[in-house]
Amino acid sequence: MINNKYNQHLQNNTFSTLFVGQNLIKLSEVDSTNNFLKELVSKSEPLPEGTVIMADNQYAGRGQQQNIWHTEPGKNLTFSVYLKPSFLNIPQQFLLNMAISIAVNEALTNLLGSGVSIKWPNDIYYKDLKLGGMLIENMITGSRFKSGIIGIGLNVNQQHFAPHLNGKATSVYQILHKDVSLKMLLTDICSHIESNYLKLKAADYLYLRNAYHKRLYRYHEQHKYRHNGEVFFASIQGVRDTGMLVLLEGETEKEYNFKEIEFLN
């Protein structure tokens, strides 16, 4: 059930985009912006493409494989974007992930300089620490995309993390030692999402693949991984359009799906 008392449509003049963020709905509190957006989409009224749901407090945010994403109220960016990539074929669905990942990386690189990377499949890293993550939920009808709901959570002005996250997570505040405007960062991210989404729509796949791999965490570096309990050294060769991670172990290339491989330090 959507609680309308939380709804606040913002007339925003700060968004210079054509459509991403032009319909911005700000909530004070919600279980998950992705859940809220899915419920809006399921209503009979058509929702404009590019609608953004932003929450001050998301108390049950989800990561990949139902991992819970905890965030301090009012300090971080938790938002979801509604897109309709019906032009994409199902086997190409990870190209949407690439486009969004590049966009978030570009906006954060503008803010933080070098050190920001994309950790496959859906995390944003600063050096070896997690800065945020994404959850893309695609709705498919038959053999075509109907819509994509992109949930993004970023640690922005949070100063302290739970002890178990020490050495694992960081925030923009911890890197810059100052608060930044959530609204301005959201505006910049939405601008980059729109730009890269339009490249995806124009089938500029070569650009997206190259830009994604250029920003990929541990790309072409030798590191330790674990698969089925076995630890080995390998280097990331790339990511397929289907989302499969390609690792080179010795002379052999192998492909891994989400959660089949563990990154070790």
Residue 100 buriedness (CB in 10 A; 0-12 / 13-18 / 19+): buried
Q: How far lies 113's CA from each of 116, 191, 240, in Å?
A: 7, 18, 27
Q: Which residue has the higher pLDDT, 59 or 135?
A: 135
CA distance linking residue 165 with residue 163, whole number of Å: 5
Judge contact between 238 and 217, C-beta under 8 A: no
Residues in the chain: 265
Query: Structure tokens of 180?
Result: 């930044």
All domains in the chain, ordered by first residue: 4-214 (3.30.930.10), 222-263 (2.30.30)
CA distance linking residue 62 with residue 69, whole number of Å: 5
**What tens digit of pLDDT does each residue of 10-47 get?**
444 468 899 999 999 999 999 999 999 999 998 867 89
Q: Is 199 helix (H, G, I), strand (E, B) or coil?
A: helix
DSSP state of 216: B
Torsion of CA 203, 98, 85, 132, to 10 degrees: -160
CA distance linking residue 200 with residue 203, whole number of Å: 5
Judge contact between 50 and 21, C-beta under 8 A: yes
Query: Structure tokens of 219?
Result: 């790309």
0.75 exceeded by pTM: yes
- 75: CB partners within 8 A, 6+ apart: 156, 157, 158, 159
**What tens digit of pLDDT does each residue of 104-124 get?**
999 999 999 999 999 999 999
**What tens digit of pLDDT does each residue of 213-255 get?**
999 999 999 999 999 999 999 999 999 999 999 999 999 999 9
CA distance linking residue 53 with residue 105, whole number of Å: 20
